[in-house]
Amino acid sequence: MMLSMIVLPLALGVSLSAVLCMSQHAWLHSSAIAAGFLLVGVIISGLPPFPPISSKHKIIYLLAVICVAAPVVSSRGKLIRLVTAGLIICGAFLWLSWRRLSADMPIEPLLPSLSVLVVWLVGVVQAERSKTGTFLWPSAVFAALLTASPVGLLSGYLGLGQLSGGFAAYLGGVLLLPYASLLLAFPKSAQVFAASTAWVGLTAIGVLAVSLASFATNLHPLAFGLLLLTLLSPLIVVRLPIAQPSHLQPIVVVALAAMPAGGAILTSYLYF
């Protein structure tokens, strides 16, 4: 399990970033990073049947949709990027939850997943506006994925915990080399890299969060709310004077996100 959840995704992320550091094309970065998310999903969850039967299978298909959309939207305007990702998240909500919606089951558990959309929209809008700090939002996505893993495991959705952990390892691997190069020389490619990662990563975690809110059998609303807060840490970091050198920003983002992340994990543990 550790091999497929951590070692392989981490190795894939590092290898991919090593190759992509040689390119400046945003579409290539977007599609390669999205394909990496899809591959990690298949490594952990297995190849889903067609047509998909359960929401777990649908997650892989939604990652495939992100994969297809990523190269297209990377070369378009901000509005297109925003609308496309919004459609994917809304589509994910309806597609994943349609059995519950059509079977007249209680819809209260679905309400938290709507908050994903709000937080996610704030994230994407702010990520688009962010001119400084190329690693701000990818670092926040990394922190959120890292938090979603134990929260998922403790909330009765083991598969999503595994998936989030694998994605965190993969994204960590993707960010490792560009961040090292940022510390050394700050090459231009790092900026393209991080901007693409932000869009793909935010959309992917949006899909995971909707699934977690809809199907985890033991998810505490407070844990879920705190998990979403980890994603918003860049909003504070850009206002902190201590975080103004770019190379410090990822560290401050993760350190700041650790507070709601710790709260989310502790709440899940106590509710376990």
Q: Can you give the binding site for another protein, defined by CB under 8 A?
A: 1, 46, 49, 53-56, 99-100, 103, 105, 156-160, 162, 211, 214-218, 272
Residue the block writes with tokens 């090292």: 180
Q: Please return the burial class of 241, using the count of CB atoms within 10 Å of its CB with bins 0-12, 13-18 and 19+.
A: exposed
191/131 Cα distance (integer angstroms): 10
Query: In the complex, what is the shortest distance from the CB of residue 4 to another protein, in angstroms, rounded to a whole number?
Result: 9
Query: In the complex, what is the shortest distance from the CB of residue 152 to another protein, in angstroms, rounded to a whole number?
Result: 10
Q: List C-alpha distances in Å: 115 to 90, 124, 206, 215.
A: 11, 14, 10, 15
Closest CB to another protein among residues 136, 153: 153
Query: In the complex, what is the shortest distance from the CB of residue 38 to another protein, in angstroms, rounded to a whole number?
Result: 18
3-state secondary structure 168-200: HHHHHHHHHHHHHHHHHCCCCHHHHHHHHHHHH
Closest CB to another protein among residues 84, 214: 214
Query: In the complex, what is the shortest distance from the CB of residue 148 to another protein, in angstroms, rounded to a whole number?
Result: 14
CB–CB of 164/148 below 8 Å? Answer: yes
222/40 Cα distance (integer angstroms): 29
Query: In the complex, what is the shortest distance from the CB of residue 101 to another protein, in angstroms, rounded to a whole number?
Result: 11
Closest CB to another protein among residues 18, 47: 47
Closest CB to another protein among residues 29, 56: 56
Q: What is the DSSP string of 60-113?
A: HHHHHHHHHHHHHHHTS-HHHHHHHHHHHHHHHHHHHHHHHHHTT---GGGHHH
Residue type, 17: S
Closest CB to another protein among residues 54, 244: 54
Query: In the complex, what is the shortest distance from the CB of residue 54 to another protein, in angstroms, rounded to a whole number?
Result: 6
Closest CB to another protein among residues 132, 217: 217
